[in-house]
Amino acid sequence: MINSVRFFCLAVFMLLWPAALPAAAATGPVPVDQGCAANATGSLSDLQTFICKEFGIPVARLGKQVDLFTDLKLDHTDVHYKLLGFYSDYGVVPPRKILTTVGVIASYLETAPLSQPATRGQSEKKKAYRQTVFYATNRQPTGKKDPDLAFSNLRAKDQKLRLGMATVNIPISHKPGQLETPWMKIGLMRDERLHLFVIDLAELGEDEFFTRIGSGGKPASKSPDGVGTEDDILVFIHGFNVLFKDALRRTAQIAFDFKFRGTPIVFSWPSDNNLLSYASDRENAFWSVKYLEKFLIKLQAKYPGKRLHVVAHSMGSQVLVNALRLLAYSGKSKLFTNVILCAPDFDAELFSQQIAEEVRPLSQSWVIYVSRNDIALSFSETVNAVQRLGTPLTPINGYQVIDASEIEVTPWSVPEFHSYYATKQSVIRDMISVLKLEQPARRHLKEKLKTGLTYWAFK
């Protein structure tokens, strides 16, 4: 029976990775700025043009009575967030309830309260934020100028760790937890008002790289309730099946949503970006361990006074934990303020029985997020034949093990059930509290016991 369940999880996972894209219109997409000229005027014209460009729906099909959900079968989440961006650009306060009929939305635009002293309609106000992300990668460079294609999914042939910085566009309409992406992921359809994407890359020499980090963080958002100071550094290690550009995007999203005042860095190892390449990704993860160890040693040595936070997701935990094990063997201690393992794809027994005690002295705080709803880790358990650390539940002395199973996730959406650490608001808020070193008892968690050890769960 257990094997049958695992096989079912594997089959579902393979069918659903990556998450389903928004449904296309039955008539096919309409290229941006082509065929989207509306015959109407005013707010109706603006709305029709917007829907045409964003969803590929011909203006002729966008009569006042047309419903975006029931008539056009558009994805609810995609419509919701794109309309929020449209309302923001239009300078009006979004409605309390989502409006779905073309005519109703157009009428609302005419009478809605302004979001700030402004002129109703399309404006030239700020369209996006700019988030700086530093990177360290042992991927093979391609030589291409397009920042999305600058690094391949292969190992660096010269075995060098390349350092640099990227600028990432965060749309003014960004919602926490979202990686706003153009329809069908077509780069030419990117809009700085609506999408989160890499603008440019700059490879840096080692001296310049560390000098720029030493100058402190340059957060995209100047929120007064931000996390940390310019002396904080956050290193993110991504998981399996991740492109270089998406590693940058996720790091930017995390830093922005955390309102992180310090310096975000992504360590991007050569993931194949292919669901069927789990085995080769795992080998690349092990191949990357020494690179990460040396990078962390150098980072800590350069800035002994800065607070280092390290966050690893999924298979990235294999890179991090094994690198930390090497650091522990060399006698290092108290290198980090926080080590956070999110949905770790790591042998639960190996970590709890043999590694946890060895690496614990390296960090002031250890946090592990787990969930029984994580189908990706069910797949990993099938492949590896052992329980993963990111599935419930392995309490460990001296570690904050946090069960996120009660957080509602969409079972067919990988970003929801496996990347919940970055997409679900309650987990984002808790991670912000972790970075502030707030104890679990002061957060929105409930204390539980298993085998005499404490763990925590979301209320």
Listing DSSP states for 31-83 in one string gives -TTSS---SS-HHHHHHHHHHHHHH---GGG--TT-BTTTTT---HHHHHHHH
77 CB neighbour count, 10 Å cutoff:
12
CB of 427 closer than 8 Å to CB of 371: no
What is the model's pLDDT at position 133? Answer: 97
CA dihedral (38, 42, 43, 45) in degrees, to 10, reads 0
What is the Cα–Cα distance from 121 to 92, expressed in whole angstroms? 8
First-to-last C-alpha distance (Å) of the chain = 31
Q: At what angle do helices 2-16 and 375-384 cross, to 10 degrees?
A: 120
What is the model's pLDDT at position 22? Answer: 36
Residue type for 76, please?
H
What is the model's pLDDT at position 125? Answer: 58
What CATH number should be reported for the domain whose range is 128-458?
3.40.50.1820
For 26, phi and psi rounded to 5 degrees?
-60, -30
What is the model's pLDDT at position 269? Answer: 99
In the block, residue with structure tokens 């329809």: 183
- The tokens of 229 are what? 């100071």
What is the Cα–Cα distance from 341 to 420, expressed in whole angstroms? 12
Give alpha helix (H) positions in 230-346.
244-257, 278-287, 289-302, 316-329
For 375, phi and psi rounded to 5 degrees?
-65, -30
CA distances from 166 to 69, 89, 178 (A): 37, 26, 19
What is the Cα–Cα distance from 271 to 290, expressed in whole angstroms? 16
Helices (H) and strands (E) in the chain, counts: 15, 13
Beta bridge partners of 454: 449
What is the model's pLDDT at position 56? Answer: 83
- The tokens of 187 are what? 């780069």
Fold identical between 31-111 and 128-458?
A: no
Give alpha helix (H) positions in 181-243.
206-214
The model's pTM is 0.75
What is the Cα–Cα distance from 168 to 110, expressed in whole angstroms? 34
**How long a stretch of residues is the chain?**
459
Q: Which residues of the chain have pLDDT under 70?
A: 1-35, 37-41, 115-125, 184-188, 216-224, 412
For 356-376, the pLDDT digits (tens) are 999 999 999 999 999 999 999
Q: At what angle do helices 42-55 and 102-111 cross, to 10 degrees?
A: 130
What is the Cα–Cα distance from 424 to 311, expressed in whole angstroms? 16
What is the model's pLDDT at position 29? Answer: 34
What is the Cα–Cα distance from 449 to 367, expressed in whole angstroms? 16
Residue of 326, 344, 324, 339 lying closest to 384 (CA atoms):
344
Can you say how many angstroms the Cα of residue 294 is from the centroid of all Cα atoms in its chain? 25
What is the model's pLDDT at position 200? Answer: 95
Q: Where are the domains of the chain?
A: 31-111, 128-458
According to CATH, the topology of domain 31-111 is: 1.10.1200
